[in-house]
């Protein structure tokens, strides 16, 4: 009954925590009752394909979970952009992004204030509003695209990993790991087209942002761009970052055409991740990431203090990111090796079975 | 979109609206006898009221939260199942709803 567990788990993940266990138990019971009923009619066990067909009839786990939720809010501007199915996820992602943005902006302001820089109220407000607007626009565009896909193709999802319900879960790595245990056919579930489209959109936005930062440091430094500017290292790593982002877009595009190229994705992700880690390491090694906007001997002690504080904050941030990223890369490599071993084991078992026949 | 498609969509929406009210009545009536979700769904389907589980279970929860149903988890055939039945308040409401239903039915029969 692995398929049933996967389905129930996918529904449960989209449910409010307080109802999760209760609804999952009842849903699981209902599915098992239906399967047993069907088995009695047929006088035999159901095949995995028949089990899958029964589960498919129940619909996309995301849509099913939404029917249990009391919260039926949506985002509508003229037409419905984000419906009740995705709205709770939209709010979560948006809150996280906006919260993070405000914390970063707040930290920059504090650093500047601590170093004696005077900040105009207009600067503070305009910076916050611009950053919040950018975040809001990006998250809304991505979610409305996913919503459009869900509305147009509510039945386009697969139990073995891809599509609507499961692919939208943010704990992607955990899901992949859980699925390896059940997957006996190959390298893992097919690559979700929804995931590929999301990556293409997200990377497209990232390319626009990275390119914009070159000319408008305001996009990354916020109000601090009046006093600070990016160190030369950022301009040196611009092309490697651009290359990696474009490589990820190409990879996602290929997987959009060929979702069955799972091994291709696994290898590409490791390569891109390793490339990203190399760039991050080069960035970390640079030691200085921002410099005073007014160079030379005119730089006051206050300016120098602000630059030092911001560089310190960036140092710890970068160090943390590099360590985290290195850990994730190791995890991905181990994951690939496990899959490879599993693949070999299954091929060996198949060969032995064929010899036996 | 063609007029035919428009009409079909309109009919579907109106049909769903009509069914929504009747479903509550059907579920309450079926739960005069204690049942668990799956058998309730089968009972309703046998009576021509096909209802998918994505509609039935949220409805059962709503009716329970409104105090019209009570439920308990119990073991049957070596598995834990959640059994639902009408509460005392549910019985009163059902009686009133059935009387209302008869009145509507009589009125409509007179008009149709």
Residue of A34, A59, A68 lying closest to B38 (CB–CB): A34
Contact B61 A68 (CB under 8 A): yes
Q: Are strands B35-36 and B69-76 parallel, antiparallel or unpaired?
A: unpaired
Interface test with A, best of B23, B35, B58, B80 (most A CBs within 10 A): B58
**Domain at B24-111, CATH class:** mainly alpha
pLDDT band at B68 (very low <50, low <70, confident <90, very high): very high
Contact B54 A26 (CB under 8 A): no
The residues that bridge with B72 in the sheet, in sequence order, are B83
pLDDT in tens, chain A (357 residues): 478 888 888 888 888 888 888 899 999 999 999 999 899 988 888 888 888 888 888 888 888 888 888 777 888 887 888 888 888 888 888 888 888 777 777 777 777 676 666 667 777 777 778 778 888 888 888 888 888 878 887 776 666 543 333 443 333 334 434 443 344 456 666 777 777 877 887 888 788 877 777 777 766 776 666 677 788 888 888 889 989 999 998 998 888 888 888 888 889 989 999 999 999 888 888 888 888 776 555 556 666 777 788 788 888 888 888 888 888 889 888 888 887 887 777 666 656 655 554
Mean of all residue pLDDT scores within chain B:
89
Answer whether residue B67 shows pLDDT above 90: yes
Q: How many Cβ pairs closer than 8 A exist between chain A and B? A: 42
Extract the tokens encoding A213: 């930062």
pLDDT band at B35 (very low <50, low <70, confident <90, very high): very high
Extract the tokens encoding A276: 């990203």
Contact A29 B37 (CB under 8 A): yes
State the pLDDT at residue A159. 64
Contact A67 B54 (CB under 8 A): yes
Each residue of A291-301: b (16+ CB within 10 Å) or e?
bbbeeeeeeee
pLDDT band at B100 (very low <50, low <70, confident <90, very high): very high
Q: What is the pTM of this model?
A: 0.55
CA nearest neighbour of A127 among A220, A236, A20: A220
Domain boundaries, chain A: 1-58, 59-345
What SS3 state is found at A85?
coil
CA nearest neighbour of A342 among A185, A221, A123: A185
Answer whether residue B22 shows pLDDT above 60: yes
What is the secondary structure of A295-354 as a DSSP string? -GGG--HHHHHHHHHHHHHHHHHHHHHHHHHHHHHHHHHHHHHHHHHHHHHHHHHHHHHH
Contact B37 A63 (CB under 8 A): no
The residues that bridge with B86 in the sheet, in sequence order, are B69
Min Cα separation B106/chain A (Å): 34
Extract the tokens encoding B86: 């009408």
Residue with tokens 């390298």: A187
Interface test with B, best of A1, A18, A32, A33 (most B CBs within 10 A): A33
Contact A30 B38 (CB under 8 A): yes
State the pLDDT at residue A186. 60
What gap in Å lies between CA A37 and CA B39, rounded to an integer?
Answer: 10
Averaged over B11-31, what is the pLDDT? 89
The residues that bridge with B73 in the sheet, in sequence order, are B82
Judge if ipTM > 0.85.
no
What SS3 state is found at A75?
strand
Contact A37 B38 (CB under 8 A): yes
B59 lies within 8 A of chain A by CB: no
B75 lies within 8 A of chain A by CB: no
What gap in Å lies between CA A137 and CA A86, rounded to an integer?
Answer: 16
What is the secondary structure of B15-71 as a DSSP string? HHHHHHHHHHHHHHHHTTS-EEHHHHHHHHHHTT----HHHHHHHHHHHHHTTSEEE
What gap in Å lies between CA B7 and CA B91, rounded to an integer?
Answer: 39
Residue of B37, B42, B55 lying closest to A26 (CB–CB): B37
B83 lies within 8 A of chain A by CB: no
Q: Compare A213 and B76 and report the one with higher pLDDT.
A: B76
């Amino acid at each position: 009954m692995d398929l049933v567990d996967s389905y129930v788990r996918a529904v449960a993940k989209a449910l409010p925590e307080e109802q999760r266990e209760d609804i999952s138990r009842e849903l699981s019971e209902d599915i098992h009752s239906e399967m047993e009923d069907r088995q009695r009619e047929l006088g035999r066990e159901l095949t995995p394909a028949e089990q899958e067909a029964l589960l498919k009839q129940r619909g996309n786990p995301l849509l099913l979970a939404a029917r249990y939720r009391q919260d039926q809010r949506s985002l509508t501007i003229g037409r419905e952009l984000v419906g009740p199915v995705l709205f709770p996820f939209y709010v979560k992602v948006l809150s996280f992004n906006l919260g993070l943005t405000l914390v970063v902006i707040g930290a920059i302001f504090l650093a500047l204030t601590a170093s004696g820089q005077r900040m105009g109220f207009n600067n503070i407000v305009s910076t916050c509003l611009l950053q919040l607007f950018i975040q809001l626009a990006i998250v809304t565009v991505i979610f409305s695209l996913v919503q459009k896909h869900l509305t147009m193709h509510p039945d386009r999802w697969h139990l073995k990993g891809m599509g609507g319900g499961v692919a939208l879960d943010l704990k992607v790595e955990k899901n992949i790991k859980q699925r390896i245990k059940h997957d006996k056919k190959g390298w893992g579930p097919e690559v979700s087209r929804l995931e590929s489209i999301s990556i293409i959109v997200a990377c497209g936005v990232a390319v626009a942002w990275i390119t914009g930062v070159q000319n408008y440091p305001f996009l990354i430094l916020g109000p601090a761009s009046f006093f600070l500017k990016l160190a030369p290292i950022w301009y040196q790593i611009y092309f490697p970052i651009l290359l990696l982002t474009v490589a990820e877009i190409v990879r996602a595009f290929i997987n959009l055409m060929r979702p069955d190229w799972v091994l291709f994705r696994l290898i590409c992700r490791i390569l891109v991740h390793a490339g990203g880690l190399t760039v991050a390491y080069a960035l970390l090694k640079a030691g200085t990431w921002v410099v005073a906007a007014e160079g030379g001997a005119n730089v006051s002690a206050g300016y120098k203090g602000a630059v030092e504080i911001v560089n310190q904050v960036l140092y710890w941030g970068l160090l943390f990111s590099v360590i985290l990223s290195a850990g994730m890369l190791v995890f991905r490599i181990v994951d690939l090796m496990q899959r490879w071993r599993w693949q070999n084991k299954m091929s060996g078992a198949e060969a032995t079975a064929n010899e036996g026949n | 979109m063609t007029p035919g498609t428009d009409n079909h969509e309109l009919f579907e929406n109106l049909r769903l609206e009509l069914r929504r009210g009747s479903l509550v009545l059907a579920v309450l009536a079926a739960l005069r006898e204690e049942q668990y979700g799956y058998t309730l769904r089968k009972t309703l389907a046998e009576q021509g009221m096909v209802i998918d589980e994505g509609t039935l279970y949220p409805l059962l929860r709503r009716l329970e939260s409104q105090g019209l149903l009570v439920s308990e988890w119990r073991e049957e055939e070596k598995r834990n199942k959640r059994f639902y039945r009408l509460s005392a308040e549910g019985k009163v409401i059902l009686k009133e709803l059935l009387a209302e239903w008869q009145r509507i039915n009589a009125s409509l029969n007179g008009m149709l």
